[in-house]
Structure 1
């Protein structure tokens, strides 16, 4: 089978593609966001560096494209090779059996026109956390989302919530199931990086503060709880500048890693030394960092947009759910409750280890991913 993957060069898409590297399938990747070659995907034919101008850039073009994005999208084919044009060229060249796109806004919107020219070509789409839950609320996105879902044949989601949303948004195809966005994890390999849960003293914070992330509210909750943190080290990873500036301005005794400072393995090792993990945002699906924290037995305190997180965390049993990502007082109370209940933390580690074995194990998920392409 010839499979053409379409994505940005995301670690989650890369890990998914690597599940098929030792199969008999012919694998191709279209770098739809034009970011360049992925060195780790040597076994996959890559279509990169494709974006070319048809006409020289005109004065004010960039500002126009940002101020009037929808209008520019309609006319940019006059100035440069578009995603649709190049995808059509690839399809005619390699004759794929299936197209698999990851993410909606950057990687699926731009290819609908081309896919509609090949109505019999199978299209699988992997829904990422904000694709539907967040962007469906905007009129400018809603029709684009529906246009993609109308053409897509097969849907992969990382939570049941997004399958329900897709049906509400008129998806009529087949749901191939709930599978973690980054596929599975080598649990045996990661076991070596775990320290005994009750010997740990790190509270680990995901430091995203942007359109979705609300790390600052967690930082402020911790700031209000300093008297409870005497025996803990607070570590913030993936920190955006606004978070870094606040911590420095308030002279908080927290260790900070900026956005790209830690590799995925370094972060997982840090999780294996952390007693508590906190992630807070207004929109997401099933966060991969949450799953990794659970695998490494860090006690999760996580926001729950659209009840997606509640699909894996049972309140006060194997973690704590943040009801309102903007409620600093509530976040503070959850942190203090976790700190003061070591037996709950120990019990959650046992439960989450079993969840990881059942739902996150690479040895179970990898053959499932390989097999699903055989049944399209």
Structure 2
């Protein structure tokens, strides 16, 4: 079976392909965003630099595209090869059986025109993050989402919430199940980085502060209870510039790491030293950092947009759910409760270890991924 993967330049796509390395399928990757070569299996043929110009660049074209994006979108097909044109050419070249797109806005919207031209090709769409939950609230996006879901044959989600949303938006195909976006973690390999609860001296904060992230509210909550947590080191990772600036301007003795300062391995090691992990946002899918906290034994305190985090956190048992991402006082209360209840932390650690092996183990999810494509062969 010939499979084309269409994704952003992310670790998710690499892990997904890695799950299938022992299979006999032929794999292709379409670099839809022009991000460059993907570090993956050598056997994967990659279609790079597909945005061929039809005419030379025009003076002022870039600034025009930023000032008037709507108008530029209309004339762009006359200037360069569009995503759906590139995909049409690739389809005609290799005659694929399946196209698997990861993410909606960047990787699925642009190919709908091509996919409608080839209705016999099976389409798998992997949904995560804000693909559906957030963008369904905007009419221009909602209509595009419905067009994609109308054509998609198979849907993979990282939470049950998004499957329900997809059905509400008209999806009639087959849901292939809930699988973590990165397909899980090699849990046994990370065990050596997990400290016992009594030795953990770090409170780890996700430092996103953007359209969705509300990391600064967590920092403000920590400031309110600083005398109660003075025995812990506060580390903020994945911090946007505004968060780093806030820490400096307020003379906070917090260690901060920017968005790309730490490798995934380093983040996992930090999780294994942390007593608490706190992630706060107003919109998201099943947050990877939440899953990583569960794997590494850090007690998670996580916001719960659309009740997605409640699919893995039982409030007060194996973590805390932030009801209102903007309520600094309530976040401070949750942090205080967690720090002061050592018995709960120990029991949560044991429970999360079981959850990790049951739901988040790489080998378990690898079998789900392999089975997904085997079922496609049977149903083809």
TM-score, normalised on structure 1?
0.98
Distance in 1 (alpha carbons) for counterparts of 2:218 and 2:176: 36
Distance 1:75 1:132 in 2: 28
The answer to whether residue 153 in structure 2 is matched with residue 153 in structure 1 is yes
- The answer for the alignment partner of 2:232 in structure 1 is 232
Alignment check: 8 A CA contact 2:17 2:40 kept = no
* Distance (Å, rounded) in 2 between the aligned partners of 1:315 and 1:59: 57
Q: Which residue of 2 aligns with 1:34?
A: 34
* Corresponding residue for residue 364 of structure 1: 364
How far did 1:223 drift?
1.2
- Corresponding residue for 2:317? 317
Aligned to 2:69: 69
Shift in Å, 1:68: 3.7
Which residue matches 1:109? 109
Distance 2:195 2:72 in 1: 53
1:233 and 1:42 mapped to 2: Cα distance?
Answer: 43
Matches of 1:279 and 1:145 in 2, distance apart?
27
1:23 is displaced (CA, Å) by 1.3
Give, in angstroms, the shift of residue 362 of structure 1: 1.2
- 1:2 equivalent in structure 2: 2
- Cα distance, 1:244 vs structure 2: 0.3
Deviation at 1:129, TM superposition (A): 1.4
Q: Distance in 1 between matches of 2:194 and 2:268?
A: 9
Give the equivalent residue in structure 2 for 1:163: 163
Report the alpha carbon displacement of residue 63 of structure 1 after superposing the two structures with TM.
Answer: 3.4
> What is the DSSP-based 3-state SS (H/G/I as helix, E as strand, rest coil) of the residue aligned with 1:272?
helix
Shift of 1:37: 0.2
Unaligned runs of 5+ in 1: none
Could you list the structure 1 runs, at least 4 aligned residues long, displaced by more than 2 angstroms after superposition.
39-43, 56-75
Q: Indicate the residue corresponding to 2:182 in structure 1.
A: 182
Pairing 1:346–2:332 present = no
> C-alpha distance in 2, partners of 1:109/1:358?
34
Q: Quote how far apart the aligned CAs of 1:225 are.
A: 1.3
CA contact (8 A) 2:18 2:40 kept: no
- Secondary structure of residue in 2 paired with 1:227: coil
Per-residue displacement from partner, 1:130-187 (whole Å, max 9, x unpaired)?
A: 0000011112211111111111000000000000000111111111001101102111
Shift of 1:93: 0.8
Q: State the distance in 1 between where 2:206 and 2:101 align.
A: 27
**Hey, what's the Cα distance between the residues in 2 that align with 1:14 and 1:326?**
35
Deviating more after overlay: 47-56 vs 281-290:
47-56
Residue 356 of structure 2 aligns to a residue whose secondary structure is: helix
- Residues of 1 paired with 2:168 and 2:72: CA distance? 30
**Post-superposition offset of 1:64:** 3.4
- The reply to whether residue 192 of structure 1 matches residue 192 of structure 2 is yes
**Structure 1 position 75, deviation (Å):** 2.6
TM superposition shift of 1:44: 1.1
Q: Distance in 2 between matches of 1:330 and 1:354?
A: 29
Structure-1 residue corresponding to 2:201: 201
Kindly state the Cα deviation for residue 229 of structure 1 after the two structures are TM-superposed.
1.5
Q: 1:141 and 1:67, CA in 2 relative to 1: closer, same or farther beyond 3 A?
A: farther
Distance in structure 2 (CA, Å) of the matches to 1:198 and 1:45: 49
Superposition deviation, residue 368 in structure 1: 1.3
| Structure-2 residue corresponding to 1:84 | 84
Deviation at 1:221, TM superposition (A): 0.6
Query: 1 CA distance for matches of 2:286 and 2:28?
Result: 27
The aligned residue for residue 140 of structure 1 is 140
The match for 1:51 is 51
d(CA) in 1 for partners of 2:117, 2:68:
27
1:71 to partner: Cα distance:
3.5
Superposed CA RMSD in Å reads: 1.1
Distance 1:217 1:200 in 2: 23
